[in-house]
Structure 1
């Protein structure tokens, strides 16, 4: 049976099988077999294809879920489980920032605890040393933060927490390598990624993030859990609004 999901994902990206093959680094006939014969690519090619198409590999090739090696690698990615964010050792948050070399990615609504816990200027220092820093905060004027605030019982208070976070990050926004964007997305988890390590703070309806469980993950070869959350981050990042003028954001909020 042909893999219509793969065919559709390639078409949705405006690509041909020829161009798709070139970008992935395989023969065009190989991509054709992936489609017409529903062949499952090798792990490296699956990763390249999903990165290119912006689609999770289990959507394109559902059978990989049953691959014992994938299951085993996914379990190996779990370093620790914390029943709540408040149970995560404070030193872990601090050490991750200090150890960052390549990438720091933050996806939250407000995430105010992070700048209150750790001097944000250290993120700027990491950026000056070549580390890419990307921060996604909720748009305080958006519907997403308003809905989440109502669910948590804080109402407009959550938007005010976003504004405070924005002020914390403001001093480092002019540093090359630091980017901040505002999203209006429903988050099912907050994501904190530093190089190969990730902390995923799950969201529970009606409960604040500090009281919800945290997964401490680290990427291992063959695993897909970290990549699964990174794909989610990239999707939110792609549709979020770049922001450098914090005063303008606050003025828009005050003028509602």
Structure 2
């Protein structure tokens, strides 16, 4: 029996069925994990289960360590997705939920957060009231970079519309201490529109925008900080530089 997994599930308040839903496997699969401590799930399932339970993979399946040892900059890559839309919404929710000090949404529009995360405004307010710094950096809906990107994408839900959706949702929240909003302006807007950085304390989700593709069709990297000057720090420094040059809303 995998007693560590059972204890982690009890601490997280998750039944086998609930964990199965989070990971995307059957309830019977989770029950097999619980029954056999020698059974090691596939890497993707291990990561998703650990994410859902808020613990390290090595704690649940120590024997998996040799399989996933990484060195150098690679160790900061938790997971990669060929499309942003392939990253489960539960991953975003868990990262937001665990963050205590920094939430920085430096996507060019950020609108999908409001459509995919239930009660997102209430969550942001609660985080800010608990002392978490919450920042949104979006593009200028009237900016030249925005107009050029709209011409490239050629989709009905335009870039400027998606930005305004985010700004409208933030405006509905009213003034909230700890929540800051800025818009990037030229020349920084061009750098901003090409790369989205979403920070959750010492973890980040990063999307480089490819050619004519909209955000959800571009790849995504899940990063976790392990060392100074690593991949996490490089991308966060990029977002912070854009923030400094942005205009307050």
TM-score of the aligned structures, taking structure 1 as reference length: 0.64
1:160-171 superposed matches below 5 A: 160-171=161-172
CA distance in 2, matches of 1:173, 1:105: 19
Unaligned stretches of 5+ residues in structure 2: 1-69
Of stretches 169-178 and 142-151 in structure 1, the one that deviates more from structure 2 is: 169-178
CA distance in 2, matches of 1:173, 1:219: 33
Of stretches 151-160 and 226-235 in structure 1, the one that deviates more from structure 2 is: 151-160
Post-superposition shift, 1:172? 3.3
Post-superposition shift, 1:113? 0.7
1:189 to 187, 192, 195: 195
Give the match's secondary structure for 1:141.
Answer: coil
Q: What is the total number of aligned residue pairs between the two structures? A: 173
CA distance in 2, matches of 1:112, 1:222: 31
Post-superposition shift, 1:96? 1.2
CA distance in 2, matches of 1:152, 1:212: 13
1:149-168 superposed matches below 5 A: 149-154=150-155, 157-168=158-169
Post-superposition shift, 1:108? 1.5
Unaligned stretches of 5+ residues in structure 1: 1-70, 244-256
CA distance in 2, matches of 1:97, 1:107: 14
2:246 to 240, 243, 256: 240
Which residue of structure 2 aligns with residue 18 of structure 1?
none
Post-superposition shift, 1:224? 1.2
1:201 aligns with 2:216: no
Which residue of structure 2 aligns with residue 104 of structure 1?
103
Which residue of structure 2 aligns with residue 115 of structure 1?
114
CA distance in 2, matches of 1:156, 1:235: 28
Give the match's secondary structure for 1:136.
Answer: strand
Which residue of structure 2 aligns with residue 179 of structure 1?
180
Give the match's secondary structure for 2:71.
Answer: helix
1:92 aligns with 2:91: yes
CA distance in 1, matches of 2:86, 2:135: 25
1:148 aligns with 2:145: no
